Every structure is written in C-alpha cells, then in structure tokens.
Amino acid sequence: MAFVATATALVLLAALAGVNCGGNGADSEFPPPGGPCDTAYKGKCGTPCATDLECPSGLYCGPGGTCTADCLAGEVCKDAICSPRGRCGGTDTTGFGGEGGVEGGGDATTDSICADTDVTLTKILPKVLFLLDQSSSMYFNKFPNGASNGCNPDCRWTVLKDVLIGPAATPGGVVKQLQAEAELGIEMYSATDPNPNDGDNSLLPPPTDAVCPRFNGKTFNGVAFALNNAAAIDALLRPATVDDDTPTGPAIRAVVGLGPDGGVADPKGFAASPGTAPKVIVLVTDGEPALCGENSPSDPGRAAVVLAAQQTYAQKIRTFVITVGDTTPQAKAHFQAVANAGQGLDPTTGDAGVIQPSTPQQLVAALQQIVLDARTCTFTLNGQVPAGSEKLGTVTLNGGVLAYDAAGVEGWHLKTPSTLELVGNACKTLKATPNATLSARFPCGVIQPIPK
C-alpha cells in the first residue's frame, strides 16, 4: 500500500517595502481610527475560525478564535510591514502551525504564501501467522480428496506449498503478493512419534526426544514476523516435508504461548508479541486432531482445539480455519466449532463459517481475503488537525476523492485530531485492494504539531 510522503511547503517571500516614518497615509505606522475591522473589513471580522484559511482574504484567525486584522496588507505599522493576512509585525504560517501553532514550533515565515501540505499516513499492519498441519496425511492424500502415491503434484502438501510460495520453477505465491500488506510468519506443526518401529509414516529422521508438539521437526522456539518476509518464509517452507500426527490443540497453545489457565505463559509466543496491530492465525489442516501421545483423532483432542481457539481469542488473536481434506459430518462439525471459537462466537451456535477450498485458486482467494481483511482502516497522521478544520482536508483512495463524513458512516473522518479512519465502502475498498494508494492533504496552516 503506497502513501504520499510529507511535502515541504513552498514559500514565496514578499519584498519588504521602504519604511516611511510619520504621516497619516496608507503607509503610516498609525492605523486609521477604529482599525481595519471598522473600515476596510467592516462586517467581515468576528467570524469564528480555527485557522487563517477560514477567514476572508486579508484577515487572520486571532487568539480568541475569530477572524481579525491588525492592519492592511503591505502598509507599514510599528516599523514593520503588515502581512498579507493583516498581522502587524507578525507572521503568516506555512506547513505545520496555525495562529496557535507558531509558538509551538510551527514553520513560520514573514509575509509568506504556502502550498497545501501532504500529510504522511502511517498504516497499522496486522500480524498474520500461517499455522500449517504437517501431518503425514498431507503427503499421502490428494487435494482436496483421494489417495496420493508419493505426493504427486496434486497432493495436499504440494498444493499448499505451491499456493503459498509458488512452484520451484516460478517462486512467488500468495506470500510474495501479500508480504507488504502484513507482517507474516509461518509455523508447521506435528508430533513425531518417538517410536520408529510402530508404523511411523514420518519422512523425517526419528526424534531423539518426546517433545510435542514439534514445529518443522523441532521444539518450538518462538514466533517471528516481518514485512517483506517472502524470502525467509520460502527458505523455511520449500524444503519442508511432512511428519506424524495432528496435535492441533497443543500446537495452538504453543505458538500463542498460553498457560493452563489461558493466560500468557511464554514470552516467545504470539500473545506476547508487542504492538497493538491486529493479530490473526490462519490454521490450515486436513484432518481431525489428537492430543500428544495419540495416533488417532479423539474427543479430548477436539475439545482441546476449541478451548485453545477460545483462549487465543481472549488474547485478542482471531483464528481462521481452512480445511483441505476431511469432509465427514463429524469433521465438518468440529471445524465449524473451531472457526466459531476463533472469532469469539459460541462454538455450537456461531456462524463464522469454515473455509473449504476445492481448487488451488479458491485457496489463493481465501488466503488473500483473510490477510487483506485483517488490515485496519485507521491511520496515524504526522500532525494533528484542530477541531472544526477537518472538512478542509482532501483524502483520496486509488485516485478517487473520498467524502468527509463527521458522523463516521461513509468516506473518511477523524477519530482523534491525529487519527484518520476510512469508513463504509471506502474501508471495504481499501481492504479488498492490494497495494492500494491513499493520500491526505490539508491546506497549509491547518496541520499542527502533536504536543510532546
């Protein structure tokens, strides 16, 4: 998503006129009786204002929040030249600042004219963790259904990897498409059976311990997220193969860092990841879960996943469920319960919906929608807008001008003096558009520095 960088205000300095002391003409240091508000600007002064630009030409916004003038533009007063806005010996502001912004450090130049100011918008990017089922059924079954002989090109594991990072001949995939839209991370989970002589289907070497769950064949060592992370994810996922079993509940608990009571127990887990950005887990699995030490799905294993999703949601992390295999009624009911719990809904009566793609293209679309939808429509400005001046801004999305809506229903508004939010269809368009362009512009003198 591209944003307009802050522009330096253009300043044109007016030449100082020669000083003429004394006299009663237009260039006298003594203003006419009653002042400009009673003569040249009679009937124009006194209008409520927040910035100079809300006042008629020749007037400035005074400290009391009303339009006024000390003198007539260009005349000599108090041994100085009256500014174009009627300040006697004062300044008209450029860039940051308004009448109250000069003393606060705003950029000010005597007798200046300035251009509009493009505002820097800081986007708040979500953190999205792809949590992938690395069980052997992902290798020995086709996508979405059927038996596979040695993970031919349409087995579930190959299809999932090709969608995420692209085939070896043409690397890229969804991760590369979305790497600038979110901080992405990836974990692959399994539970390698510690007994290599009991029909083990793992393609990895037998483990030397009984740690469960495992992540890419190793003990969990913390989650990691980064922007533009496609190369690192490719390096981890491309050589990865499958392992044994599906301990989904323990895997969720481990990556989130949950303790037995649902609190944060592991500082390396997702829940302890710093920042206020939205957090999302995308769970991709092809079968029902078991607990560590179990080789087959079980009711305790199913319950563990639902509880883990509920406790994860309580840590302000949403979980989305994508199934790429088992479609039995029991499996569908379980996945529905997990999807509901992951969105904070009742596991039995909720309607969050389970994503069940039947083609690689549908899997691509599902992953794109989840990541783009996780983005926020709120942006931080590099300054603040005084109350009453919001309507002076111009906000464009993908080249189209958005309407200002103080009620926050459609278009854009300010949640705080330094926080801009897109609402209604504008927010929907932003979330649905990879690499969307958004810009905000305010007339010079409107944007003020954020108080320290």
Does residue 384 form part of some domain? no
Does residue 236 form part of some domain? yes
* pLDDT the model gives residue 13: 23
Residues 6+ away with beta carbon under 8 Å from 205: none
* pLDDT the model gives residue 300: 96
**Count of domains for the chain:** 1
pLDDT tens readout for residues 59-104: 988 878 899 998 888 787 876 778 888 888 666 643 222 332 322 3
Does residue 61 form part of some domain? no
Does residue 23 form part of some domain? no
User: Which residue numbers in the chain have pLDDT < 50?
Assistant: 1-32, 93-114, 195-199
CATH of the domain at 141: 3.40.50.410
Phi-psi map region of 97: left, alpha, beta (phi>0 left; psi -120 to 50 alpha): left
Report yes or no: 88 and 78 within 8 Å, Cβ to Cβ. yes
Residue 138 identity (one-letter amino acid): M
pTM: 0.71
Q: Which domain holds residue 150?
A: 127-374
Does residue 443 form part of some domain? no
Does residue 400 form part of some domain? no
* pLDDT the model gives residue 433: 84
Does residue 420 form part of some domain? no
